[in-house]
Amino acid sequence: MIRVQAEPFDLGAELAGLTAGRTDIGGLASFVGLVREFAREPGGEPAVSAMTLEHYPGMTERQLAAIEAQAIERFQLQASLIIHRYGRMLPGEPIVLVAAAAAHRAPALDACAFLIDWLKTKAPFWKQEETAAGRRWVDAKPEDDTAAARWLPPAR
Amino acid sequence: MIRVQAEPFDLGAELAGLTAGRTDIGGLASFVGLVREFAREPGGEPAVSAMTLEHYPGMTERQLAAIEAQAIERFQLQASLIIHRYGRMLPGEPIVLVAAAAAHRAPALDACAFLIDWLKTKAPFWKQEETAAGRRWVDAKPEDDTAAARWLPPAR
Amino acid sequence: MKILYFAWLRTKAGCAEEDVTPPAEVTTVAALMDWLAEQRPGFAEAMTAKGVIRAAVNQAYAEPTDPVRPGDEVAFFPPVTGG
Amino acid sequence: MKILYFAWLRTKAGCAEEDVTPPAEVTTVAALMDWLAEQRPGFAEAMTAKGVIRAAVNQAYAEPTDPVRPGDEVAFFPPVTGG
């Protein structure tokens, strides 16, 4: 299941919903990304006072659905969930949730990492940070491409 | 923080407690292990109707605290939690929760996998399954040793 | 043809969305970008200024050589930074 | 010296916990296991029957060559299966 929404989400309720009434799930892995007050580079940029996420309505849903479908097939998931927020958020607020449930722990953990790595480089979202010095668009990080690339089949 | 308890835990409340009031956490990864109704080998054993976890009070707490301390240092965690239950549980009930919060997603995800892999081979718990055919102690799985070994430094 | 711009590319282009009718010889993403750059100096600047612009045709990622047709929805944006 | 048995080793040993006073020459985990096997046929059987028995001295994992002393808490158990 995927959801794109402006509102915050209730992590506990979302995760509970994935396993409720089921007895075939052995492991549930999840990842939540949150707005950090401090800048990404130590000693560098001013503190972030808010973050606004822009997205591409329509394409976002398609991309998230495609990412989830790949994870379900690749890791044989029994349940999965992606929630991604857009709009303005304050430090400490959750931005994104990915969760994966499987019979065993390894595929659940791997799928969780796959979902967030893949989403980071494929889902059409753009972050704009607010600091005391003004607003700035966040640059894409090369290490995100590296993280996503480890899920590709080895080159021949 | 570590806890060893017979009672079920409230996943949402536990995870919310890790990030509440904080603005320095960029990622929160968690894993929950649950009792599965079906046997581990497909086509094999009869369905599991209940599971009882025995543990070694005292040593359990020491081992979990040691495992958590290693994860905190190795992955520079900002918050972490291990809850492990003992006693009798029914299919669908949670057995264990590990959670790791860090500034960035990679250490949070890696720490979560490290915690559960390490715990599986070091924490003194033993599972006994109840099936229609009676009770049986669960055998340790070689793949758990393999999973734990990937966190060791490479042999010289 | 409907053109969408996102993030800092929207600011550069000066608009979020526009309907355009490029000449018939504009049949690829690359040709469309060149033609748009002629129409919008800000977009031309963005194309050379910073990183690589990504494109999507009808909400799917597209390469410069991929075709564009009248009626398509074509989006241009910087590398994504969600999650 | 306090001895603890867990999981199927407890069933085999026939008790969960016992206080023992081994002879003075029993100074290692391995020697203690041999001595216990003489006292408890079920424990002897378990030692050869199935897998490798793990030991802990004062709640820390111990190797067969590690020392045991009067007053220690020594536990024997099968490979762990928690998580």
Cβ(A84)–Cβ(A33) below 8 Å? no
**pLDDT over 90, % of chain B:** 81
Determine which of A40-44, B84-88, B145-149, D34-38 has the lowest per-residue pLDDT on average: A40-44
Q: For D1-83, where are the alpha helices, taking DSSP H only?
A: 8-13, 29-39, 41-49
Per the domain annotation, does B75 fall within a domain?
Answer: yes
Per the domain annotation, does B108 fall within a domain?
Answer: yes
Amino acid at B108: A
**b (16+ CB within 10 A) / e for A95-121:** bbbbbbbbbbbbbbbbbbbbbbbbbbb
Look-up of token digits 């239950």: B85
Q: Please give the C-alpha separations between residue B113 and each of A28, A122, B104, in angstroms, as whole numbers.
A: 12, 24, 15
Q: What is the pLDDT of residues B137-149, one digit of tens each?
A: 999 988 998 999 9
3-state DSSP helix/strand/coil % of chain A, to nearest 5: 35, 30, 35
Q: How many domains does chain A have?
A: 1
CB nearest A126 (choices: C4, C51, C81):
C81
DSSP A32: E
* Spatial separation of the C-alpha atoms in residues A71 and A111, rounded to whole Å: 6
Please judge whether C80 and A33 are an interchain contact, meaning their C-beta atoms are less than 8 angstroms apart.
no
pLDDT of residue D46: 82
* Spatial separation of the C-alpha atoms in residues A72 and A80, rounded to whole Å: 7
**In this complex, is the C-beta atom of C35 within 8 Å of any C-beta atom belonging to chain A?**
no
Please judge whether C80 and A125 are an interchain contact, meaning their C-beta atoms are less than 8 angstroms apart.
yes
What would the mean pLDDT of D22-39 be, rounded to a whole number? 95
pLDDT of residue A43: 64
Task: Report which of residues D11 and B61 the model is more confident about.
Answer: B61
* Spatial separation of the C-alpha atoms in residues C1 and C73, rounded to whole Å: 6
* Spatial separation of the C-alpha atoms in residues A3 and A64, rounded to whole Å: 9
Could you give phi then psi for residue B142, rounded to 5 degrees? -55, -35
What would the mean pLDDT of B121-142 be, rounded to a whole number? 93
pLDDT of residue A46: 67
Q: Confidence class of residue B86 from pLDDT cuts 50, 70 and 90?
A: very high
pLDDT at A127 over 60: yes
pLDDT of residue C4: 97
pLDDT of residue A154: 74
Per the domain annotation, does A156 fall within a domain?
Answer: no
CA-wise closest residue to B113 among A135, A30, A92, A40: A30
Determine which of B43-52, B110-119, C60-69 has the lowest per-residue pLDDT on average: B43-52
Look-up of token digits 């303005």: A88
* Spatial separation of the C-alpha atoms in residues C70 and C34, rounded to whole Å: 17
Name every chain B residue with its beta carbon within 8 A of the beta carbon of A92: 19, 21-23, 25
Q: For B20-156, where are the alpha helices, taking DSSP H only?
A: 59-75, 105-122, 142-149
ipTM metric: 0.93
Chains with 3 or more CB pairs under 8 A to chain C: A
Per the domain annotation, does A71 fall within a domain?
Answer: yes
CB neighbours of residue D77 within 10 Å: 22
Amino acid at A53: L
Strand B79-85 vs strand B2-5: parallel, antiparallel, or unpaired? parallel
- Mean pLDDT, rounded, of chain B: 93
Name every chain B residue with its beta carbon within 8 A of the beta carbon of D81: 125-127, 137-141
pLDDT of residue D7: 96
**pLDDT over 70, % of chain D:** 96
pLDDT of residue B142: 86
**In order of start, what are the domains of chain D with their CATH numbers?**
2-77 (3.10.20.30)
C58: alpha, beta or left? (left if phi > 0; alpha if psi -120 to 50)? left
Cβ(B21)–Cβ(B105) below 8 Å? no
Per the domain annotation, does B18 fall within a domain?
Answer: yes
Per the domain annotation, does B98 fall within a domain?
Answer: yes
> With a CB-CB cutoff of 8 Å, which residues 103-132 of chain B face chain A?
103, 105-106, 108-109, 112-113, 116
3-state SS class at A91:
coil
Question: CA-nearest residue of chain D to B135?
Answer: D8
* Spatial separation of the C-alpha atoms in residues B105 and B100, rounded to whole Å: 10
Cβ(C41)–Cβ(C8) below 8 Å? no
Per the domain annotation, does A59 fall within a domain?
Answer: yes
Q: What is the pLDDT of residues C1-37, one digit of tens each?
A: 999 999 999 988 889 999 999 999 999 999 999 999 9
Mutation target to probe the B interface, by most B beta carbons within 10 A, among A36, A83, A138 is A36
Name every chain A residue with its beta carbon within 8 A of the beta carbon of C78: 126, 137, 140
pLDDT of residue D50: 53
- DSSP for A37-66? SS-SSTT-SPPEEEEEEEE-TTHHHHHHHH
Per the domain annotation, does B153 fall within a domain?
Answer: no
Determine which of A16-30, A39-53, A69-83, D42-56 has the lowest per-residue pLDDT on average: A39-53
Q: Do chains A and B touch (3 or more CB pairs under 8 A)?
A: yes
Q: What is the pLDDT of residues D54-74, one digit of tens each?
A: 999 999 999 999 999 999 999
**Residue B126 domain boundaries:** 2-140
Chain B contact residues (CB < 8 Å to D): 33, 53-56, 58-59, 62, 84, 95-96, 116, 119-128, 137-141, 144
CA-wise closest residue to B25 among A79, A36, A43: A36
* Spatial separation of the C-alpha atoms in residues A119 and A97, rounded to whole Å: 11
Q: Confidence class of residue D51 from pLDDT cuts 50, 70 and 90?
A: low
pLDDT of residue C26: 97
A121: domain CATH number is 3.90.1170.40
